[in-house]
Amino acid sequence: DIQMTQSPSSLSASVGDRVTITCRSSQNINNYLNWYQHKRGKGHQLLIYAASSLQSGVPSRFSGSGSGTDFTLTISSLQPEDFATYYCQQSYSTPPTFGGGTKVEIK
Amino acid sequence: QVQLQESGPGLVKPSETLSLTCTVSGGSVSSDNYYWSWIRQSPGKGLEWIGYIHYSGSTDYNPSLKSRVTISLDTSKNQFSLSLTSVTAADTALYYCARADVGLVVYFDFWGQGILVTVSS
């Protein structure tokens, strides 16, 4: 299975901050990388697919980049509703696998 | 807006079978474009894909669970189900159902909120 490693596992930030989360795969996955947001008690929300494509309805402050083994999710200006846990997921090969998550907390 | 809701027992005894159902609203499990998935999350293992099913009957399972898993579809009720046999404490987890878009890139675009299943005697 392809291993997905996210960093950091948690971070504290303030409203308005620029936030960057990194995801690294154990092998080349081209651009087969997706990002999700999860708030406790709710379903996960797809933010970015194919590394950099913004899912319909997702605010433009979210962006994704990267290819190969290194990927980044950026929130350009953190909003109060963005405090949540973020996961990456590869779909290059079966089984699809997820990163361990990055919890974004209020500073 | 597609919505998914998991249901089933929250407590299962070791060695028994875990059975969960996902009810889909706002969309059809008979759609040709999507697979219907189960994913779980336990404290020790993070998010783990269990498997998915297409309305044609085609399935794909995680090799780590394949010998114990069956996913089935009930188009008349717009539901799909998970059966996991011979459970142990390691199967204690939050279980999510989700819709998978399996175009060029496979992603899960709608998820249920999850159901906690504890394996204990």
At B73, the pLDDT band (50, 70, 90 cuts) reads very high
CB of A73 within 8 A of CB of A62?
Answer: yes
Q: Which residues of chain A have pLDDT under 70?
A: none
Residue A95: asked if its preceding bond is cis (omega within 30°), the reply is yes
Edge-to-edge strand ranges of the sheet holding A19-25 = A4-7, A19-25, A70-75, A62-67
Residues of chain B positioned with their CB less than 8 A from the CB of A49: 105, 107
Residues of chain B positioned with their CB less than 8 A from the CB of A42: 113
Residue-level pLDDT at A85: 96
Q: What is the mean pLDDT of residues B9-15?
A: 97
Residue-level pLDDT at A47: 98
Q: What is the mean pLDDT of residues B41-47?
A: 85
Whether B112 has its CB under 8 Å from any CB of chain A: the answer is yes
With a cut of 80, say whether residue B44 has pLDDT above it.
no
Q: What is the mean pLDDT of residues B11-19?
A: 98
pLDDT digits (tens, 9 = 90+) for B85-99: 999 999 999 999 999
Asked if the Cβ–Cβ distance from A98 to B114 is below 8 Å, we say no
